[in-house]
Amino acid sequence: MRATQAVLASIFTLLTGPGQAQEVIEISDRGGLHAAYVVPVPEAGRVDVQLIVMSGTHDDPDPSGTAHLTEHLAAISADATILKTPRARDINASVSPVSTVFTNSGMPSDIDTLMQLSRAVLDRPVLPDGYAETEIDILTRETMMRERQSPFRWVRRMALQSLYETPRGRANSVIADLPNLSLDKAYAFHAAHYVPANTVLIISGEITPKAAADQVARVFGDTVVSTRPDEPWLAHKPDPQRRAVERVTSDRLSRDMVMLAKFVDFKDHPTSIDMQGMFFISTSILNDRLSKRLYQEEPRILNLNIDWHFAPNADLEMLIVFDLMPGFSVDEAHQVLNEALDTLLDDPILARDIQLARESEIVSAHDQARVPSQFLWFLKNVAADGFPPITPTTFARTLRDTTDEDVIYFIESAMAPSATAVVLAEAEG
């Protein structure tokens, strides 16, 4: 499901405090942009412009890391063009598997500059001679630093490559591909993906709807209607019968580790936007149960991390990783993990379990409206998938309207047998 152009504004209401209302308003006069929205926040004392390119690392060509390099080049080029100095500030962008987000923030009086900085992202990167080449070195050091800080990134890549049986798309080989990063490939990626039809704009803060609409028409009104690039990774699903187990021993690890990647295909749902309530309530319940079984009741597990990724076409990934205490073998840990997953639903999901999870998620949604950085994340979350932004109150209403039957359906589907890949990683020495 994708947001469609509309002549009339779409308005959603949320409350961030007593008596204070906010609206998400769709802007119809937006040139060739996929969508544009304004979220007025009276007396905020700031304004934020988020430009979302709906392509990320899942869209990487060969080599992996191209989307990340393109993010650097586009952000720095925008600063060089508008502020007349490359790297005039810290990079104001981030890349995720499905999107690249450029955020420009300032005082309400800065709106002209913020809009121009956002618009410049869509222009082919232009940097001083030799500057772009040095950005490859910077990105390489940044990537290697993150790798050293979080060894599980390496094991996670192995698990995803094993699950999907490829180093591309939903998996990657970013470290191995670092020597192959190319400016030409980054510029080609920019030309293919940084197009108006693949871009969403969200203006939020102390600005009126008319002022925001005028800004969008003035700055983006001349962008041409184009076609969104294909997303072949969405169609790439693992073999439902795959049950892969891989072993690795390395001195890169300080402790033995177990990683599981699981894929769930909700075939009856072509889009995830109507499943957001199910997703958040269900994963809250599953996280609590998994944490109890794999951490609170298992003293041999040192730490536990559980991640869920819900694609716009309703494909679900569950990632579980944990370090082991000395003396607890990876084979024993693998058996404990399997037993936990196999018996997780032996105790039925009760109505009070669902209600507690629902209330917790509603409180969390409203809390995010009170912190600027979290509010920006909330707005861009589903917008990065091409859907209209969801505000905290809209989401709270979705959570309330999600039935117990919906939650049980989601949980049972998520925990049913499906494609998995496990990595049993042992520290050398």
pLDDT, one tens digit per residue, over 6-19 is: 222 333 333 333 33
Q: Which CATH class is domain 237-427?
A: alpha beta
CA angle, 361 then 36 then 24, to 5°? 40
- Using 50, 70 and 90 to split pLDDT, how confident is the model at 22? low
pTM: 0.90
Under CATH, what is the fold of the domain 11-230? Cytochrome Bc1 Complex; Chain A, domain 1 (3.30.830)
Q: Do the first three CATH levels of 11-230 and 237-427 match, i.e. the same topology?
A: yes
Domain boundaries, the chain: 11-230, 237-427
**Helices 392-401/276-291 angle, 10° precision:** 80
The pLDDT mean for the chain works out to: 92
> What pLDDT does residue 16 have?
38
Concatenating the DSSP letter of every residue in 139-173 gives HHHHHHHHHHH-THHHHHHHHHHHHHTSSSTTS--
CA–CA distances in Å: residue 220 to residues 21, 122, 195, 215: 28, 10, 12, 8
pLDDT, one tens digit per residue, over 235-252 is: 999 999 999 999 999 988
What six digits make up the tokens of 13? Answer: 């209401």
pLDDT, one tens digit per residue, over 394-412 is: 899 999 999 999 999 999 9
